[in-house]
Amino acid sequence: MTGTTAPPRKRDRTHWLYIAVIVAVIAGVLVGEFAPATGKSVAELGTIFVSLIKMMISPVIFCTIVLGIGSVRAASRIGKVGGLAIGYFLLMSTVALGIGLVVGNLLQPGSGLNIAEHAKDVAKYQKQAETAGGTWQFIEGIVPTSLLSSLTAGSVLQTLFVALLVGFGIQAMGATGAPLLRGVELVQKLVFRILTMILWLAPIGAFGAMANVVATTGLDAVKQLALLMVAFYLTCLVFVFGVLGVLMRAASGVSIFKLVRYLAREYLLIFSTSSSESALPLLIAKMEHLGVERTTVGIVVPTGYSFNLDGTAIYLTMASLFIADAMGKPMSVGEQLGLLVFMIVASKGAAGVTGAGLATLAGGLQSHRPDLISGVGLIVGIDRFMSEARAITNFSGNAVATVLIGTWTRTIDAARVRAVLDRELPFDPATMVDDHGPAPEKDLVPA
């Protein structure tokens, strides 16, 4: 028999990583409950791991957007994708905020609670809210002090802004910009190579994070406010499977259950680290593997991480009503509608605020109902447990948005989507570092 045979592919051993994460989470809960001193002492393990992941976010977003924009000749198609994405994000955030208001009014989980015990905890979040600034400060913060500082400041919005400028600049250069595009592609492979090494530390980070939160809050503190937690988790499930799932099935013919199964490992990573950012690079790679064009993925996913925070939106309205009821100062319908409008804007900056959910909640109440600001301390004890649902819902919203925008702009391969979700074309993590994603697409002629 003549001819050469292809070298055997390396076996995918990442399933051992996620098994280790599950074991680490269980171990963290046990250590936090039965050895709280030890649980608190390993808190930095979780912090360091999340910091390592966040260290890679700006390079990943920069490379993804530049490659997505620079590889397409027609700027009008990029504008169409971006405009459609922003419009969709605003609509879904409003829907999520509205659902939070409805559930909060129906259940009223804050009625009859005493908030005095945790009132002192609000000081640091109130300070963050005061320094976050208003709308103009938020817009001003999008522009970095220098071109390169956007990659080091840790601001997603600044990275987005500079990446857009560089992407359109390379696109305008035409063939002359091809070497630059190839250079960015090589940098992207390097970034993903580093990221795959960092991900193997996930079990250590998950153990430290879970051990600390259980040791700090205790399971009894969680039980005390269980109704709010259960209501929030159920609301997120209804939103993901009821709202997003139905919309995606109607518009794209894609099953939300198959998509969730396809992203199962990413959900586990998010749950163990309480950060949707930890799965951002993997979401980009998997959406490209799914059959969505690089341009669409490069615009929708990074932008969605700043503007499509459905889980955070639900949290903001439910938590606001919870605090108002717990303080005996329930909001009128008019006040709730005013809060809804304010939170539509406030939620867009959640990804760029330290402390994200709590700090943004404090900022919203400080501006809208300052008499309720001291009540933020009530949910400090369980916010860490609620943040998993926020992160998972945010992640789900961006995955669904990518499929929907791809469908509406005809930048998705429906046959490949079916094959991937039916497990006929399994995702190979090696493509992230060896040959990440499909080749840059050319301009498509709409059918």
Which backbone phi and psi does 292 adopt, to 5 degrees? -85, 135
pLDDT of 43 reads 81
> Which own/partner pairs from 254-258 qualify as long-range (CB within 8 Å, at least 24 positions apart)?
254/403, 254/417, 254/421, 255/421, 256/400, 258/421, 258/422
What is the pLDDT confidence band of residue 364, given thresholds at 50, 70 and 90? low
- φ/ψ of 302, rounded to 5, equals -60, -40
pLDDT (0 to 100) of residue 401: 93
| Mean pLDDT value of segment 257-264 | 93
pLDDT at 251: 93
User: Does 4 score more than 50 pLDDT?
Assistant: no
Q: What is the mean pLDDT of residues 216-234?
A: 67
Structural contact between residues 49 and 205, judged by C-beta atoms closer than 8 angstroms: yes
* pTM score: 0.66
User: How far apart (Å, rounded) are the C-alpha atoms in residues 143 and 161?
Assistant: 7
Tell me the sheet residues that pair with 292.
412
Average pLDDT, integer, range 12-21:
68
Taking only the tens place, the pLDDT of each residue in 147-182 is: 787 777 766 678 878 888 888 888 788 778 888 888
52 in Cβ contact with 275 (< 8 Å): no
Residue 34 CB-half CA count within 13 A: 6
State the Cα–Cα distance between residues 64 and 61, nearest whole angstrom.
Answer: 5
Whole-number Å distance between alpha carbons of 80 and 412: 15
Which amino acid is residue 132, in one-letter code? Answer: A
pLDDT at position 380, please? 57
What distance in Å separates the CA atoms of residue 291 and residue 18, rounded to the nearest whole number?
25
Do the beta carbons of residue 228 and residue 292 sit within 8 Å? Answer: no
Which range among 135-139, 206-210, 267-271 shows the weakest confidence by mean pLDDT?
Answer: 135-139
Instruction: Take residue 312 and report the two structure tokens written for it.
Output: 């955070």
One DSSP character per residue, 43-87 reads HHHHHHHHHHHHHHHHHHHHHHHHHHHHT-S-HHHHHHHHHHHHH
Higher per-residue confidence, 385 vs 252: 252
User: Would the pLDDT of 122 be above 70?
Assistant: no
∠ CA 268-272-273, rounded to 5°: 120
**Distance from the Cα of residue 173 to its chain's centroid:** 33
Query: What are the two backbone dihedrals, phi and then psi, of residue 412, each rounded to the nearest 5 degrees?
Result: -140, 140
Hunting for tokens 């951002």 — which residue is that?
A: 280
DSSP 8-state code for residue 333: H
Confidence band (pLDDT; 50, 70, 90) for 420? very high
| Ramachandran area for residue 293 (φ above 0: left; ψ -120 to 50: alpha; else beta) | beta
Cα separation, 387 vs 394, in Å, equals 10
C-alpha span between 427 and 371 (Å, rounded): 51
Most confidently modeled range among 23-37, 314-328, 357-371: 23-37
For 444: left if phi > 0, alpha if psi spans -120 to 50, otherwise beta; the answer is beta
Summarised one tens digit per residue, pLDDT across range 377-406 is 556 555 666 777 888 888 999 999 999 999
Per-residue pLDDT for 333 more than 50?
A: yes
Provide the phi-psi class of 79: left if phi over 0, else alpha when psi is between -120 and 50, else beta.
alpha
Residue 357: how many other CB atoms lie within 10 Å: 24
